Amino acid sequence: MSSEQTATQRRHRVLVLADSCNPEWPSLPVVGYKAAKALADVADVTVATSVRNRPNIEKVGMGRAKVAYIDNEYVAKNIFKISRWVRGSEGAWTTAMAFSYPSYVAFEYEALRTFASQIESGEFDVIHRITPMSPTLPSFVAAKVKHIPFVLGPLNGGLPWPPEFRNELRKEKEWMAALRGLHQFLPYHKRTFQNSAAILAGFRHTIDRLPLKSEDRVIDFPEVGFDPELFSVGSRQAFQGEATILYAGRLVPYKLPDTVVHAFVENSALHRHRLIVAGDGPMRAELEQIVRAAGLAERVSFLGKVTQAEVGELMRKSDIFAFPSIRELGAGVLIEAMACALACVVVDYGAPGALIDSDRGVVLPLSAKPEVIKNLGAALVKLTSSPSSVLQKGENARDFAFKHYTWAAKAAKTLEVYDWVLGRNPRKPSF
């Protein structure tokens, strides 16, 4: 066998940069963990991650991946304290990204020092930054290493606050959102996009805001995925009489959980059904008071914070997923609901509007909050009056999720990207 054939057939050797990579922390950290772990099933992966992830990773392991823990706490520890003091306990994610810049540069600087000799000796075919996913955070490694293909992403961000919800922007303390464009002047930003052989980006709201000169290297590749062991369901039967409507997510302004509660309370046709609210946050007391005032405490359940396994069980026992969030970049919980064959009701903005269509649920127009409540109520009334439609939409959603969004499917797609940047396949992947 020739050396060329050997190189073509061997597993890709990948250095994965995943600062946020933690099996027990929600949102980005668990997504980073699952993506890297799945990739290690199909490639020879070494993961560079923050030392703060070590305790939780070592509890459950990282599958076939090798793990190197990078210590940037000499910067990150104090920056984190300052960030939390400025932001408070909830919200202000734009501010959080701004404060994380020095810590992340330190992370990649230390990662490059750790792997410098292996990179120089050609022990890796590809370097792939999986997290962070914000396009505002440049890569020190991409700026410095040019002889190995660098894959950036999946990136997700750049979704503006809809003007109809300026009040929610204020509640979320997103006062820095207007300054977001200044990230393009950060050190290493320009070279990050110039030197990346492929740029994975989720949804049009991210792709449309990337540097124009990188268009030919951008691949539409949402970061979200799901674990079939936690989120799947066997054959469903159409509900009889009483339907269960589920909301799962943090009870914070931009996710609009109040519109779900108001829609349920204000439509008497829904009162013979059930509403389950899974999640916690600063809006919980307000929502519970709305339900008590309407005398519907027996029809609406507030469960508080729940585990991923518990969310999966709730989804299997529900029929409709109501998720009207208006600033959802990736919508991982929506993919999980689809995998559990739930008919989904969303607002047409950000990731939810891209993932759901009329075959898989109901897409509401983006409008002011009173209109969202009105339209959401009408959609729920219509769905609960048609069990067969709910069943069909849920089955379509499940088929779509399993075709594209299992972690195994996403890992296989990532290999196609590697083949392209390494010149093994001349055709640019399209997903």
Q: What is the CATH number of the domain that holds 65?
A: 3.40.50.2000
If asked whether residues 193 and 320 sit together in one domain, one would say no
In a domain, 56, yes or no: yes
If asked whether residues 196 and 80 sit together in one domain, one would say yes
If asked whether residues 210 and 265 sit together in one domain, one would say no
If asked whether residues 366 and 412 sit together in one domain, one would say no
In a domain, 237, yes or no: no
Residue-level pLDDT at 197? 97
Counting other chains too, the contacts that 65-72 makes at CB distance below 8 Å and 24 or more residues apart are 65/16, 65/36, 65/37, 65/39, 65/40, 68/111, 68/114, 68/115, 70/19, 70/107, 70/110, 70/111, 70/114, 71/110, 72/103, 72/106, 72/107, 72/109, 72/110
Domain containing 98: what range? Answer: 3-225+406-421
If asked whether residues 140 and 277 sit together in one domain, one would say no
If asked whether residues 388 and 288 sit together in one domain, one would say yes
If asked whether residues 139 and 280 sit together in one domain, one would say no
Residue-level pLDDT at 410? 96
If asked whether residues 211 and 185 sit together in one domain, one would say yes
Count Cβ atoms below 10 Å from residue 235 Cβ, excluding itself: 6
Residue-level pLDDT at 26? 83
If asked whether residues 411 and 354 sit together in one domain, one would say no
Residue-level pLDDT at 2? 41
- In the chain, the number of structural domains is 2
List average pLDDT for each run of 10 residues in the chain, which is 431 residues long. Answer: 49 97 91 97 98 97 97 80 57 58 91 97 97 91 95 89 73 53 74 96 90 90 94 92 96 95 98 98 97 98 95 97 92 96 97 96 96 98 98 97 96 97 94 82
In a domain, 233, yes or no: no
If asked whether residues 220 and 77 sit together in one domain, one would say yes
If asked whether residues 212 and 348 sit together in one domain, one would say no
Residue-level pLDDT at 421? 97
